[in-house]
Amino acid sequence: MTESVVIVKGDAGVHARPAMMLVKEAMKYARCSVALIRGGVEADCKSIMSVLGLAIVSGSKLTVRADGDGEREAVKNIVAMIENNFKDKN
């Protein structure tokens, strides 16, 4: 298991578009479970409804946790996405 803590910096927090970006990234790791944890509540990062259910606002402290094949890469990429305020890599 690999985990890392990150703070959401964007003014809008995590609404539908960034949540979908998180889900798409997590889905790349089919042989790995990926979770977001906020305030003791854990959400499956492969489920848009689960991610949106965390009601992530600006300043939220999140733990990104992954377990399985590719766990380190999954955590690294999801943390980077959050730290970069969900800006496209293009």
Total structural domains in the chain?
A: 1
Q: Model confidence at 14, in pLDDT bands (50, 70, 90)?
A: very high
- 49-78: burial string, b at 16+ Cβ within 10 Å, e else: ebbbebebeeebebbbbbeeebbeebbebb
Domain CATH number, residue 13: 3.30.1340.10
- Does the pLDDT of residue 90 top 60, yes or no? no
pTM of the model: 0.92
Averaged pLDDT for residues 31-57:
97
By residue range, what is the domain housing residue 31?
2-83
Catalytic residue chosen out of the listed positions 1, 5, 12, 15: 15
Q: In the annotation, is 37 catalytic? A: no
Q: Examine residue 88 and state whether it is found in any structural domain, yes or no.
A: no
* Domain-embedded: residue 42: yes
